Amino acid sequence: MVLVLRDALLDALGLPESCRVDQRVPKKMLVEYGAPTTIDKRLLNDAIEEVRWVAALKPGNIAVPAYRDESHEYLEVAVLVVQVRLSHSREPQVQRLAELVHRAVPYPVILMLDGPQGVTVSLAHKRAAQNEAGKVVLDGDVHSVVVETIAPFEEAFFRALALDKQPHANLMALYQGWMDCLTAADVAQVTGQFKVSVDAATATARRSALQEYQRLEQEAARLHAMASKEKQIAKQIDFNLAFKRAQTDLAAIQDQLKESP
């Protein structure tokens, strides 16, 4: 089932044959460039069964210009599939693995981690390191979605991923278009509606609202747990009141996300 889903995701991207690479990547390359600690090196070695470089999207094969500014250089977008072993399929392991793989590759990557946990799709922007000439680092968080968790919106998500539906101004805008698809999938789990933002400003606002929603979810869970454990009635009441305020704020953000175009 996972292999079928992974292949369906690759098909959904709608990449031309001219982009295809289909080469195996040695794990030692990821270990050399993406693992800052001994623990990270062990994770890359032990968690990965196989790495395949599926496609390389360049101006010459997709007719989308490169992008350059003072800190960014988007000359190519790589599509990688990593087969994850059963022994390392817990969520924290998969999240760290995704971050390490993104760190190891100098180009922006559409990464698919394929394993017992399901198929995790992730993207992360890159920028030039400030203090090391020629080195590239992550620019912000790694954005990821476990495809199995968005089953009710899977078909809409797949349709939205098509190359011809992304912005074509340049490779950075193209990559951001795919990142906005992941944001739309996350928002859909809050609102029950899958829709990709109509413009960059709306997408930025949705990402900010989603981050605040996720923060409040964690805070509400913390307050609820503290209220259930508290023995003093006065403090229990305070925790419950704070919990209800968090729930009210969550409902307001949910409405905001539903109404965003």
Q: What is the pLDDT along the chain (261 residues), one digit of tens a residue?
A: 456 678 899 999 999 999 999 999 999 989 888 888 999 999 999 999 999 999 999 999 999 999 999 999 999 999 999 999 988 888 899 999 999 999 999 999 999 999 887 899 999 999 998 877 778 999 999 999 999 999 999 999 999 999 999 999 999 999 999 999 999 999 999 999 999 998 888 988 999 999 999 999 999 999 999 999 999 999 999 999 999 999 999 999 999 999 988
Burial class (CB in 10 A: 0-12, 13-18, 19+), 1: exposed
- 124 with 210, same domain: the answer is no
- pLDDT for 3 equals 61
pTM above 0.85, yes or no: yes
- 124 with 252, same domain: the answer is no
Residue ending a domain, choose from 154, 169, 192: 192
Distance, CA of 139 to CA of 108 (rounded, Å): 10
Query: What is the 3 state secondary structure string of the chain?
Result: CHHHHHHHHHHHHCCCHHHEEEEECCHHHHHHHHCCCHHHHHHHHHHEEEEEEEEEECHHHHCCCCEECCCCEECCEEEEEEEECHHHCCHHHHHHHHHHHHHHCCCCEEEEEEECCEEEEEECCEEECCCCCCCEEECCCCEEEEHHHHHHHHHHHHHHCCHHHCCCCCHHHHHHHHHHHHHHHHHHHHHCCCCCCCCHHHHHHHHHHHHHHHHHHHHHHHHHHHHHHCCCHHHHHHHHHHHHHHHHHHHHHHHHHHHCC
Distance, CA of 224 to CA of 243 (rounded, Å): 6
- 215 with 181, same domain: the answer is no
- pLDDT for 170 equals 98
Distance, CA of 239 to CA of 49 (rounded, Å): 47
- 9 with 96, same domain: the answer is yes
Q: Token digits for 118? A: 């399901």
- 212 with 186, same domain: the answer is no
Residue span of the structural domain in which 255 resides: 205-259
Residue 199 lies in a domain: no
Residue 111 lies in a domain: yes
**How many structural domains is the chain composed of?**
2
- 89 with 164, same domain: the answer is yes
Residue 124 lies in a domain: yes
- 99 with 215, same domain: the answer is no
- 80 with 143, same domain: the answer is yes
Residue 243 lies in a domain: yes
- 157 with 42, same domain: the answer is yes
Q: How far is CA 126 from CA 61, 105, 129, in A?
A: 21, 10, 9
Residue 50 lies in a domain: yes
Residue 150 lies in a domain: yes
Residue ending a domain, choose from 140, 159, 192: 192
- 135 with 252, same domain: the answer is no
- pLDDT for 198 equals 87
- 72 with 178, same domain: the answer is yes
Residue 227 lies in a domain: yes
Cα 87 from chain centre: 22
- 148 with 247, same domain: the answer is no
- pLDDT for 32 equals 87
- pLDDT for 260 equals 84
Residue ending a domain, choose from 192, 220, 250: 192
Q: How far is CA 90 from CA 40, 47, 65, 103, 129, in A?
A: 15, 11, 38, 20, 31
Residue 61 lies in a domain: yes
- pLDDT for 89 equals 85
